[in-house]
Amino acid sequence: MTKIKLVYMLSLRNAAADRAGQDIEYKGGLRYMKSPLEFLVEQLNETELGDAYSLEGVIYDDDEGSSTDRAKLGEYGFACQPGKPWIHPPHLAVEGRPVTSLLHAIPSTYRRLPLDSSERPAQKSAFERRLLARLAALDADFVVLDGLLVILDELVRPGAPFHRRIANIHPGVTRLGSRYERRGAYATLDALHGAHGRKVVDWTTGETRPVPPVDRTGASFHYVDNGIDSGEVIFDVLATPIDVNDTILELRWNNFQQSLFPALQGGLATMAESFAKASI
């Protein structure tokens, strides 16, 4: 069977914020923060997902020319370096190939411009064209986003080459109207506030209002459209209890283990079945 050529996209600065690939403080002890990318590689090496997919590349959008990105990455830097933290073990390999050899930098340099800059739309478009060119060079069949901190548009519009060929793994339930719904970049923090009976109404000011407490969260594997976590859900899991005494990293660790990793595995299995049916 011909394998589905998979490309992974992420923002290293998001993984660095998670302390991916490092031990984190957890309830008075330490636990290893496995990144979704590391989990995926393990699945491709050890389970039937490896019969369905081959990992062709890992694209990141972080911008070495941005002082903001450099500060957010800190010791991680923009590449795996001896003695420095990295988002996965340095010698991690997928089906015999070092994961570090699969890295491709496509920096989203348009983010240096103010939001109201007249040049920003054209530079954002140029960034997406660079992404498209790299995906074409990698002969990608399907793309998974993990903490990519930019919103795609041209790549995912109806009729575009990667419409319904890009999915996001999100650390929150994205189904519209669900009482567990947690979209956007602050999904884990939003869930933690929810367990305390608060809803953030303005992330800039931190203003909250009281709501009935919600003591669970989950994860969604969904198609990417040009909204914020608004695409059709492919597979989701709601299996993470929230302890009101959790720190954000403790909750993040729990949610990865109990909901996000299973959602990633289930979503890719669902898509493999879809590809198989389409090829009959």
CB neighbour list of residue 83: distance below 8 Å, 6 or more residues apart: none
Q: Are 94 and 44 in contact (CB under 8 A)?
A: yes
User: Residue 206, Cβ neighbours under 10 Å: how many?
Assistant: 9
- What pLDDT shows up at residue 148? 96
pLDDT tens per residue across span 59-80: 999 999 999 999 999 999 999 9
At residue 164 the predicted structure's pLDDT band, cuts being 50, 70 and 90, is: very high
Percent of residues, the chain, with pLDDT higher than 70: 99
- What integer is the mean pLDDT of 237-266? 98
- What pLDDT shows up at residue 136? 97
- What pLDDT shows up at residue 266? 98
pLDDT value at 188 more than 90: yes
Q: Which two tokens stand for residue 250?
A: 């403790």
d(Cα 43, Cα 61) in Å, to the nearest integer? Answer: 24
Percent of residues, the chain, with pLDDT higher than 90: 96
Strand pairing partners for 57? 7
- What pLDDT shows up at residue 279? 80
Q: How many CA atoms lie within 13 A of 159 on its CB side?
A: 0
Q: Are 180 and 45 in contact (CB under 8 A)?
A: no
User: Residue 215, Cβ neighbours under 10 Å: how many?
Assistant: 15
Nearest Cα residue to 248 out of 164, 178, 157, 187: 187
Strand pairing partners for 181? 173
Q: What would be the CATH architecture of the domain defined by 4-175+216-278?
A: 3-Layer(aba) Sandwich (3.40)
d(Cα 262, Cα 253) in Å, to the nearest integer? Answer: 13
Q: Hey, where are the domains in the chain?
A: 4-175+216-278
At residue 278 the predicted structure's pLDDT band, cuts being 50, 70 and 90, is: confident
Q: Which two tokens stand for residue 255?
A: 């949610």
pLDDT value at 1 more than 80: no
- What integer is the mean pLDDT of 123-138? 98
pLDDT value at 256 more than 90: yes
Nearest Cα residue to 186 out of 174, 199, 203: 203
pLDDT value at 248 more than 80: yes
d(Cα 277, Cα 275) in Å, to the nearest integer? Answer: 6
At residue 160 the predicted structure's pLDDT band, cuts being 50, 70 and 90, is: very high
- What pLDDT shows up at residue 81? 94
What is the pLDDT of the chain when averaged over all its residues? 96
pLDDT tens per residue across span 192-232: 999 999 999 999 998 999 999 999 999 999 999 999 999 99
